Structure 1
Amino acid sequence: MSPVSTPGLDPERLRDHLHRERPGLVSGPLSARLIQGGRSNLTYRVTDGVRRWVVRRPPLGHVLATAHDMRREHRVISALAPTAVPVPEPVLLCEDESVAGAPFYVMEFVPGTPYRSADELTRLGPERTRQVVLGLLDTLVELHSVDPGAVGLGDFGRPEGFLDRQLRRWGKQLAASRSRELTGIEELHGALGRALPRSAAPTVVHGDYRLDNVLVGVDDRITAVLDWEMSTLGDPLTDLGLLTMYSTVVDLPDSPVTSTANAPGHPGTEELIERYAARSGRDTSAISWYTAFAWFKLAVILEGIHYRYTLGQTVGDGFDRIGSIVPVFIEHGLTTLQEG
């Protein structure tokens, strides 16, 4: 009996393709299980009963190819695989849409746990939590120490004017999803534009660097950095600012937006920033701008989710509470920028 097909991925077609492109890799029938889905790229765990792999493809029915670029993701993990940055070993990129209905790539399965909440970290205890988060920071330093040209990523993005383009991009995103008055959002956007810092030398930036986008092994070390769909060449402090934002303790009771910062033992933002500066040698004196920008960006993302909820385009628990959270993020962005 043939394996049950998973939406977006037919195991038999995948097996036939791997037999053609990588003879001897697969030793039996494949079975697949969707482990992450939705509007982001789809992720499947695939096995032949002996070995395991992971397959990434765009969401079903997607129309924005640039937002779900499999070639780009495959390229960056292939470039980083020989470096000290832990990434899954790439196996194969397939751009023939007849195999799965869209381009996809295959990578080796990496064991590990993605910690998504303070409760999950709390079960580790304070000391282990501290080591996990410091490991996350140190892995970011490793990423930003990679010479893009030396690994074939010298043309991976346009670092000139990176911050200005980012700010304009998210401003346009906000304009496209506005359905109500948001006190302070224009003030925050304008203040960020007036205080635009001068970027340091560009590096590979992840674009969404946080704890639940990495896998942590049984020894509490980072085993793999995942979800490279927003990666590019740009200002490395945008990654640090985002990590700083996610490491800020925020009181959001009954919130669908999870944070790990409340877990006992989680290092504070000052320690993380100081550690990054010491280990990278970079000037982090303008980190308040980057953290405020991260607050702004997430506020825009959440407002977009709220907007889709008001149109009846989202399904699931928690979407009715997203709208009430957006002003909190705006307030944190303004406060962070003013205090900086």
Structure 2
Amino acid sequence: MNAGNPPGLDLERLRAHLDRERAGLVHGPLSAELIEGGRSNLTYTVSDGVSRWVVRRPPLGHVLATAHDMGREHRVISALHPTRVPVPEPVLLCEDASVIGSPFYVMEFVDGTPYRTAEQLTAIGPERTRGVVLSLVDTLVALHSVDPAEVGLGDFGRPAGFLERQLRRWGKQLTASRSRDLPGIDELHTRLGKALPVSPAPTVVHGDYRLDNVLVGADDRIKAILDWEMSTLGDPLTDLGLIVMYSSHPALPGSVISSTSGAPGHPGTDELVRRYAEGSGRDVSGVAWYTAFAYFKLAVILEGIHYRFTLGQTVGAGFDRIGDIVPGFIDHGLTTLQES
């Protein structure tokens, strides 16, 4: 680990805060490193030489309204930790921006593998690959089976009108980050709005559920779901649509967007949808709309990251290629919606 301060994290101030709030937790000088792979909030591994933790904070610079809410992330993992949904144990939330320059939270370090590429899965063989991907679906079923009210999340979102509000919200996010012409994205947004499905009963939704947002253990089961920044109460099929989207296309050349669908043994999207339907008991006949919405949402997220890159406000490698792949996600969204 780097003994100095990584971008966005002052270790001396972090140590002082931990000593005040959790006396005895830290036993030596802190070192830290930025975990690569995240596209939005910044994630660091922090160690005192004996124990390890993870620190999450918003990105440097451009922060859209309602995004990057550390309190929400901390709240949802705190609520889910006692359930059978695998999440890291929360350690501390700090909403005082004066400590490190932004709100942040600390959670336990979970040892596991985030599979981001087909090559990583190919290395473990088709049988294990199949098990890992099916475990991803089964874990989503477990998340969607949690009664929000029973775990203190009854007011975590406003499920009524969820899809309409989501479309409006992501349209606003697009406007806030629009710095160039994106052919087709307004058409996709409009067509999604004209074909809104009727949502099933609401659940806790993750909002960015995919294989590289979970940690997989040596037994090929999910050990922790990460990156809860877009979680809320709403339509559970939005999470399923994301899985289908990420499993529908091979990795794009030069892309920093994960895709594992090309690995031998990776279940097809039809099997993944059936697995979810059997485990959850939900009607999944309208999954194409949710998949198209997932393409739209990811296009908006990527455009926001591209915008921050143009302002010099991203940290890490690969951000220079984000802007080039946004049009492909718009086209896939339009095609998927047309096929539905």
Same fold (TM over 0.5): yes
2:328 corresponds to 1:339: no
Check whether the contact 1:37–1:59 (CA below 8 A) recurs between aligned residues: no
Partner of 1:153: 153
* Unmatched tracts of structure 2, length 5 or more: none
Identical positions, percent: 75
- Does the C-alpha gap of structure 1 residues 303 and 14 become closer, same or farther in structure 2, counting only changes over 3 Å? closer
Partner of 1:56: 56
TM-aligned CA deviation for residue 339 of structure 1: 2.5
* 305-314 or 86-95, which deviates more: 305-314
* Unmatched tracts of structure 1, length 5 or more: none
- Does the C-alpha gap of structure 1 residues 278 and 222 become closer, same or farther in structure 2, counting only changes over 3 Å? same
Partner of 1:265: 265
Partner of 1:77: 77
**Count of matched residue positions in the alignment of Structure 1 and Structure 2:** 336
Counterpart amino acid of residue 189 in structure 1: H
* 113-122 or 173-182, which deviates more: 173-182
Cα distance per residue 1:134-154 (max 9 Å; x no partner):
111111111111111000011
Partner of 2:170: 170
Counterpart amino acid of residue 320 in structure 2: F
Check whether the contact 1:41–1:59 (CA below 8 A) recurs between aligned residues: yes
- Does the C-alpha gap of structure 1 residues 20 and 278 become closer, same or farther in structure 2, counting only changes over 3 Å? same
Pick the structure with greater CA Rg.
1
- Does the C-alpha gap of structure 1 residues 9 and 165 become closer, same or farther in structure 2, counting only changes over 3 Å? same
* 136-145 or 304-313, which deviates more: 304-313
TM-aligned CA deviation for residue 223 of structure 1: 0.8
Secondary structure class of the residue paired with 1:99: coil
Where does 1:282-301 land on structure 2 (aligned, <5 Å)? 282-301=282-301
Partner of 1:88: 88
Where does 1:1-340 land on structure 2 (aligned, <5 Å)? 4-36=4-36, 40-61=40-61, 63-64=63-64, 66-176=66-176, 177=178, 179-180=180-181, 182=183, 184-250=184-250, 252-304=252-304, 317=318, 319=320, 322-323=323-324, 325-340=325-340
Secondary structure class of the residue paired with 1:46: strand
Check whether the contact 1:256–1:322 (CA below 8 A) recurs between aligned residues: no
TM-aligned CA deviation for residue 57 of structure 1: 1.6
RMSD, matched Cα:
2.5
- Does the C-alpha gap of structure 1 residues 14 and 298 become closer, same or farther in structure 2, counting only changes over 3 Å? closer
Normalising by structure 1, what TM-score? 0.89
Check whether the contact 2:40–2:305 (CA below 8 A) recurs between aligned residues: no
Check whether the contact 1:93–1:106 (CA below 8 A) recurs between aligned residues: yes
